[in-house]
A = this chain, B = another copy of it.
């Protein structure tokens, strides 16, 4: 692909762009992980890392006014909490930037904050700052800090051949069912996992199972085989929805096979985890086994944000 002026963002997508930016990001003192995982990971204290992430939501793209201000506010914070969950951390403090049309009612804006506040309270997050600016369309940016114990942090890069792959819930049709607005970020599940089972890799599903599992494969330099019949699906979701729809905000994690028995034995008491396949040595190849046992390579294409 040419690097010239005529390359448009829609041609390379978000991932192409992040890749280009990551390349130019300088190595810096105190940076354990920069661009390329669910959050940045920074040196903090002898036992803990500081996590730092931000998500921008734009009216007409990630939400429409018809969804109601509380759910819009809730979603904008929930997306960032989900990123912290995927690192094995807990969220702490948020700073919220809000672009709103000058003609919007104060009541409407307060209800956006209300939706955020309820979720913030639930996860003990302090909303400690805010910036409000004028904008034609509603734009919300949540910058979120979190913490993770050093011995509990999970990167995308640790999956090993032979590990088992799990997801935390059914997938697909999040945008049509409204799950993308009212999902509960998987902090409890992730904390339970990192305290008891030490997953080798973890990521949250914002771009679809295929796309996000592929991020683990890329970063871990492994392959995977997943089974059609094992992939849990939301009501009326087809396989293609489970594979490619975005914004489920469930977690994908990998676990050494030696830990699986204990997970299966214990998890039913509290949480539900779904085994969907195995990590393989065939670098970066994602194979789907259909219900007749037939294998096919599936594309890592993601839910397209552009």
Tell me how many chains of this kind the complex includes: 2
A305 vs B98: C-alpha distance when bound (angstroms): 13
Which of chain B's residues has its CB closest to A127's CB?
Answer: B25
Q: Say yes or no: B306 contacts A102, CB within 8 Å.
A: yes
Q: Does A9 contact B (CB under 8 A)?
A: yes
Q: Does A132 contact B (CB under 8 A)?
A: yes
Q: Does A293 contact B (CB under 8 A)?
A: no
Complex interface residues of chain A between 116 and 142 (CB less than 8 A to chain B): 117, 121, 124, 126-137, 139, 141
Binary B-proximity of A7-30 (CB < 8 A = 1, otherwise 0): 111111010111011001110111
Q: A17-B132, A97-B55, A134-B305 are in contact. Are A92 and B30 (CB under 8 A)?
A: yes
A300 proximity list for chain B (CB < 8 A):
none
A31 proximity list for chain B (CB < 8 A):
93, 126, 128
Which of chain B's residues has its CB closest to A137's CB?
Answer: B136
Q: Say yes or no: A9 contacts B103, CB within 8 Å.
A: yes
Q: Say yes or no: B8 contacts A129, CB within 8 Å.
A: no
Q: Does A226 contact B (CB under 8 A)?
A: no
Q: Say yes or no: B97 contacts A35, CB within 8 Å.
A: no
Q: Say yes or no: B9 contacts A102, CB within 8 Å.
A: yes
Q: Say yes or no: A106 contacts B17, CB within 8 Å.
A: yes
Which of chain B's residues has its CB closest to A97's CB?
Answer: B56
Q: Say yes or no: A130 contacts B305, CB within 8 Å.
A: no
A204 to chain B, nearest CB (A): 14
A4 vs B126: C-alpha distance when bound (angstroms): 27
Q: Does A291 contact B (CB under 8 A)?
A: no
A128 vs B30: C-alpha distance when bound (angstroms): 11
Q: Identify A56's interface contact among B93, B99, B305, CB under 8 A.
A: B99
Q: Say yes or no: A106 contacts B3, CB within 8 Å.
A: yes
| 15 sampled A-B residue pairs with Cβ under 8 A | A3-B107, A7-B106, A9-B105, A14-B133, A18-B130, A30-B92, A35-B130, A40-B95, A40-B128, A52-B95, A58-B133, A58-B139, A62-B133, A135-B139, A145-B145
Residues of A within 8 A of B (CB): 3-12, 14, 16-18, 20-21, 24-26, 28-31, 34-35, 39-40, 42, 45, 52-58, 60-62, 92-93, 95-107, 109-110, 113, 117, 121, 124, 126-137, 139, 141, 143, 145, 305-306
Known: A16-B106, A42-B128. 7 other contacts (CB 8 A): A9-B104, A14-B133, A18-B130, A25-B128, A30-B92, A42-B145, A141-B141
